[in-house]
Structure 1
Amino acid sequence: MQKCCLITGASSGLGRALALQYAAAGWQVLAIARSGERLQQLSQQSPWIQCLQLDLSDSAAVAASVPQISQLLPRLDLVILNAGTCEYVDAPDFELAAFDRTFAVNFFSVVAAVKYWLPLLVTSQRPQLAVVSSLAWLFPFTKAQAYGASKAALSYFTDSLRLDIADKGIQVSLIEPGFVDTPLTRKNDFAMPFMLPVEHAAARVMTAIDAGKLRYRFPKRLAFSLSLLNLLPYHLRQKVAAGMKSDQKNAAKGDLKID
């Protein structure tokens, strides 16, 4: 019996790579994103990919999508909530709307998706939910107050959710990647250590989900480095973060060469 999965943020980046790799593995894939044009292009890559254009930040639209999803797929075995965005902000003169936009996509859309789509998983023999967060929340980075805070909220939400739906038999995986080569990260003007090609990252995520990992942080070198920094005394941790900010500013000005 063919397995079925739903993937959000599937029109580009990691979501698109996941959709293609799951389809290549024989899964029936429902790809969800806001961009109808890019979804149309994705659907032409495989007969196993169907697409649904949806603004995930609109909770009413997410609720209304349930009958459509039920019509497009015979059931749901796996939901991958991958959609995300990143906006950098300037302190203390924050653009408050940037926080609203970032949390709407990175956090509140996941809450709505869980509320309305989780019941569709219960008919599967091995229901799985995967939530894609980020390693970014593990350490304070300059201008990342909106992005990092949204991912911190998302990781906590996922761990807490796992406890409260344990009786439903749904395997919940928290995916926390580092830098992946996507259209979103290509906008960054700073060094991104241990960056992975998107196809490699998608393959790692698939393996982790299939193995039923509760939490998967990758690449290991970056995850280990950030975890180690978190073990420092708090005042030293802040000094390291301030030093990173200074290096980033110099690199942006061309004063620092990073190989």
Structure 2
Amino acid sequence: MSSTILITGASSGIGRETALYYAKQGWTVYAVARSADKLADLAAQYTNSIVPVSLDLTDTLAMQRWQQSLPADLNFDVVLLNAGNCEYVEATDLDLAAFERTFAINFQAVVASTKLLLPMLKSGNTLAIVSSMAHFFPFTRSEAYGASKAAVSYFTESLRVDLAHTGIKVCLIEPGFIDTPLTQKNDFDMPFLMPVAKAAERIFKGIEAGKLRLRFPKRLGYLLNALSCLPYGMRSSLAARMKQT
């Protein structure tokens, strides 16, 4: 019997590539996303391995109905909560709707998915949650995105503490710049940009190895960690100068 993983945000980017990677390894993949057409294209590549699930993760009632429709004996070896989006904002005219949309998918949907899917994980299984390195440093116009990812990282690490007695492994994934449709919209330099296929491989191998936290590309992680060690005033001044370049 093959192992089973559920992946959210599976219609594009990291989620799609990771779904394909797991399917190639012989896993059964429940691929969750809003776009039925993109999911159908994904599932067509591995018709016996990928189960498309068209679902809006910000619709908690729809999620509950779907979860209740699943076989009572279905358990996931891995749940990978990856869905997310990025919207940039202007500090002088903060777009409150952008904050609401960003937190709805990047944070609230993670919490709701955790609540609904946690009962489908047993001791030894893994809950993996994708955050971002974005919250390591104050990047320009990233007030909404960076704050949502900071919330995700804290939620995940706190959750790990409270689930320690269950035997469920909790993995925090904090990527840097990955070459996906989301980052392809950026109009600025992205240091150490990683191909999405490499990111999917890192996720698979890291989860298989039982890692508590995955950060990649490593060089970007080292750079941001070094910046965080600067005196606070110097760090803030550097961030402001980076905005002007």
Structure 1 position 106 matched with structure 2 position 106: yes
- Residue number in structure 2 paired with 1:88: 88
- CA distance 1:69–1:197, change in 2 (3 Å): farther
Q: Spell out, residue by residue over 1:40-66, the C-alpha distance to the aligned partner (whole angstroms, 9 max, x if none).
A: 100101020011101001122222221
Q: CA deviation at 1:38?
A: 0.2
Cα separation, 2, equivalents of 1:106 and 1:121: 22
- Residue number in structure 2 paired with 1:28: 28
Count matched residues: 244
CA contact (8 A) 2:153 2:172 kept: yes
Cα separation, 2, equivalents of 1:22 and 1:155: 24
Structure 1 position 120 matched with structure 2 position 117: no
Q: CA deviation at 1:166?
A: 1.1
Q: Spell out, residue by residue over 1:152-211, the C-alpha distance to the aligned partner (whole angstroms, 9 max, x if none).
A: 000000000001111111000000000101010000000001011110110011111111
Q: CA deviation at 1:67?
A: 2.5
- Residue number in structure 2 paired with 1:226: 224
SS in 1 for 2:206: helix
| Aligned CA-pair RMSD | 1.1
Cα separation, 1, equivalents of 2:233 and 2:213: 28
- Residue number in structure 2 paired with 1:160: 158
Superposed counterparts of 1:168-247, under 5 Å: 168-247=166-245
Q: CA deviation at 1:69?
A: 3.7
SS in 1 for 2:30: strand
Q: CA deviation at 1:33?
A: 0.2
Amino acid at match of 1:94: L
CA contact (8 A) 2:74 2:120 kept: no
Cα separation, 2, equivalents of 1:12 and 1:62: 20
- CA distance 1:36–1:185, change in 2 (3 Å): same
Amino acid at match of 2:232: Y
Cα separation, 1, equivalents of 2:61 and 2:153: 24
Runs of 4+, deviation exceeding 3 Å: 68-71
- Residue number in structure 2 paired with 1:65: 66
Amino acid at match of 1:3: S
Q: CA deviation at 1:217?
A: 0.9
SS in 1 for 2:214: strand
Cα separation, 1, equivalents of 2:19 and 2:124: 19
Give the % identical residues.
Answer: 55
Structure 2 residue runs of 5 or longer lacking an equivalent are none
Q: CA deviation at 1:104?
A: 0.3
Amino acid at match of 2:98: A
- Residue number in structure 1 paired with 2:17: 17
Structure 1 residue runs of 5 or longer lacking an equivalent are 248-259
Cα separation, 1, equivalents of 2:69 and 2:242: 47
